[in-house]
Structure 1
Amino acid sequence: MTRLFTALEIPSPVAMHLSLLKGGLPGARWIDPENYHVTLRFIGDTDGRTADEVANALDRVYRPPFRLTLSGLDCFASGRSPHSLYARVEPTPGLVELQAEHERILQRLGLPAEGRRYVPHVTIARLRGTSSADAAAWLAAHGDFRVPPFDVDRFVLYSSRASTGGGPYLIEEAYPLAA
């Protein structure tokens, strides 16, 4: 079984800016910069046949390149406990349309619909035992984070190990966007 997801890569200069945010938050397990990405669609554990079908179906995506902006930081929480720290991604029409196309393609292949609302983001840390107060203080100190927009000219199909949160991720296929 292979765990798959589609995503946008983060350019090295942007990843460097994100990596400079590391530190000062108790309970944070910081993601390595080479594993930063914007998930388009989590697919999950798949057998070889399904993985091949997914890879072939994604090859038919025909979308123009677009620009992406990371602006601000936030946390995902379960109940009252924060569990992930992330950089917000502005949901441009190009991004939203690409993500929706991935969702349609995967459902046509018989995969279940994604149950959560799509929130474009780049996870920068996983949190364990971090208090809401500590997370709020860290966000207050760093929450105005912003980098210049960058061009997106491809998306990728990543694989990951089920037991390893936050990477390492392997690019299985890369799909250029239409120019």
Structure 2
Amino acid sequence: MPKLFVGIPVSEEYEARLNSMVETLRGRLRSRVSWTKPGKWHVTLQFLGKVDEEKVDEIRDALRLIEFLDFPMRAGSLEYIPNVHGPRILWMDIKEGAETCIELAEAVEEVMAAFDFKQNENFKPHLTLGRVKQIEGGDDFGVACAGLLQAWPVLQVESFCLYKSEQTAEGHIYTVVEEFPLWMDSGLIPIR
């Protein structure tokens, strides 16, 4: 039974910048952190979980019904959940395009409602850097993250994807099941 989620892919430039941030933090922190690995960056719109194989085509058909305009998105600042003193998750928030991301997530939820998937509660678009498993050696996350903020380029969101997540000995592998183009504002035609 595949585990599925819907998300927005990011550009190679974003991948490179995010990977660089993770490598810097990995060198500054002694804490046990499950870092996001290269090639796995995305903004999750809805986590679907384990899905019966025979439902996958129906889910793809439902996602194809979404008509949504392409939009600009830009990463913003590094955030700590719940706080910098005892973080469980480190992530980059979405500064520009966050409201539009939320609207796209709501459109996904709407077409997925027929499948009884869990609703997004307090959805906030973001890019996860890592999940803190255990804080070690008096790590100060605020100090470790100092100087990492940067001016992020605008990323034009032209599609979203249905992903399959598979657990392996090396960690999770994400595979694009299908990519769904958004509509260009000029002329309202799907981006291909």
Q: TM-score range by the shorter chain?
A: 0.7 to 0.9
Contact preservation (8 Å) 1:35, 1:166: no
Offset of 1:110 from its aligned partner?
2.6
Larger Rg: 2
- Identify which range, 132-141 or 102-111, moves more after superposition: 132-141
Offset of 1:95 from its aligned partner?
1.4
Question: Compared with structure 1, are the counterparts of its residues 166 and 155 closer, same or farther at alpha carbon in structure 2 (3 Å cutoff)?
Answer: farther
Cα distance in 1 for residues equivalent to 2:100 and 2:14:
19
- Which residue pairs with 2:188 in the alignment? none
Render the CA deviation track for 1:67-92: whole Å, top value 9, x for unaligned: 100011112249x7422211111253
Question: Compared with structure 1, are the counterparts of its residues 154 and 166 closer, same or farther at alpha carbon in structure 2 (3 Å cutoff)?
Answer: farther
- Which residue pairs with 1:12 in the alignment? 12
Render the CA deviation track for 1:111-156: whole Å, top value 9, x for unaligned: 2323x310111111222212685223223342x3331111010000
Pairing 1:88–2:98 present: no
Give 1:100's match in structure 2, choosing from 96, 106, 127. Answer: 106
Q: Which runs of 5+ in 2 are unaligned?
A: 185-192
Question: Compared with structure 1, are the counterparts of its residues 95 and 165 closer, same or farther at alpha carbon in structure 2 (3 Å cutoff)?
Answer: farther
Pairing 1:129–2:108 present: no
Q: Which runs of 5+ in 1 are unaligned?
A: none
- Which residue pairs with 1:30 in the alignment? 35
Offset of 1:54 from its aligned partner?
1.2
Q: Secondary structure at the match of 1:32?
A: coil
Offset of 1:164 from its aligned partner?
7.5
TM-score (ref. length: structure 2) = 0.82
Report runs of 4+ in structure 1 exceeding 3 Å deviation.
162-167
Cα distance in 2 for residues equivalent to 1:82 and 1:110:
31
The two structures, once aligned, show a CA RMSD in angstroms of 2.3
Cα distance in 2 for residues equivalent to 1:165 and 1:135:
27
- Which residue pairs with 2:187 in the alignment? none
